[in-house]
Amino acid sequence: MGLIAVTAGGGVFLPAAALVAPASPYAGLALFESGAGVCAITPEATEGPFYFDPKLERTDITGGKKGIGLNVRLQIVDPACRPLAGARVDIWHCDAQGHYSGYPGQGDGQDIDTSGQNFLRGWQKTDESGIVSFATIYPGWYHGRTTHIHFKVFPDDKSVMTGQMFFPDSLSDDIFTKIAPYNDRPGKRDTLNVRDGIARRAGPLSQAAVREAADAYQALLVVAVKSG
């Protein structure tokens, strides 16, 4: 399967000057509307080593983790940009310290064990407009990767696609250097979007545009999936 991402979104806590315009050529497109036109297909992104199914259908995946609030909204559509209702969407990402839930060997020293935990993971099924919305926190970073959120889309029982969404480096840098608990860890992230091979291969259509909202950042990704 393939994917296309059309992005827009929002946030709070930092001045608007910290935000950058989305790189997506679809940035001016009217989002969350059917009949938007033909959606181009781009390659999938790797699943990564930290996926598992937490069997948790939930809208709030925070799991008690502290950080800047983030509302992630995904709309799943077909290549003609028609919404797909009833598609399952999973998302997962690391916390402010760069730790994933459910695995040993986390952290800069690879000495943190989060086995048995399921923070910052969950799934939902899309509504009639093809939309899911997750309440979470802004993802942190870990060595060798830029800031990102993983997702899987199951448009039906026989198909699945895997992708990642990425965030403006300027916003991430401001959060990581100025706001706790992100700035509680030593060191500085070593990989920006331009140096992340997965982000480069995913291309600009996987870049989330982010803006300020009332009580949390918001990020929007419209993902077109195609079987075969």
Domain of 19, CATH number, reads 2.60.130.10
For the chain, what percent of residues have pLDDT higher than 70? 80
Going by pLDDT thresholds of 50, 70 and 90, the confidence category of residue 205 is confident
pLDDT on residue 159? 87
pLDDT on residue 40? 54
Non-local (6+) Cβ contacts of 101 within 8 A are 54, 63, 92, 95, 114, 117, 118, 119, 120, 121
pLDDT on residue 185? 87
| Residue 49 placed within a domain | no
Q: Which residue range is the domain that position 20 belongs to?
A: 2-26+58-169+176-226
| Residue 53 placed within a domain | no
Whether pLDDT at 196 is above 50: yes
Residue 227: Cβ within 10 Å count: 12
The pair of three-digit structure tokens given for residue 211, joined into one six-digit string: 């803006």
Whether pLDDT at 11 is above 50: no
Helices (H), 78-167: none
| Residue 218 placed within a domain | yes
Nearest to 168 by CA among 196, 190, 186, 146: 146
pLDDT on residue 45? 82
The C-alpha atoms of residue 166 and residue 131 are separated, in whole angstroms, by 19
Count of the separate structural domains present in the chain: 1
In whole numbers, what is the pLDDT of the chain averaged over residues?
81
For the chain, what percent of residues have pLDDT higher than 90? 50
| Residue 52 placed within a domain | no
CB 75 within 8 A of CB 31: yes
pLDDT on residue 37? 55
Give the DSSP H or E segment for 200. helix 197-202
Range with top average pLDDT, 63-67, 107-111, 130-134: 63-67
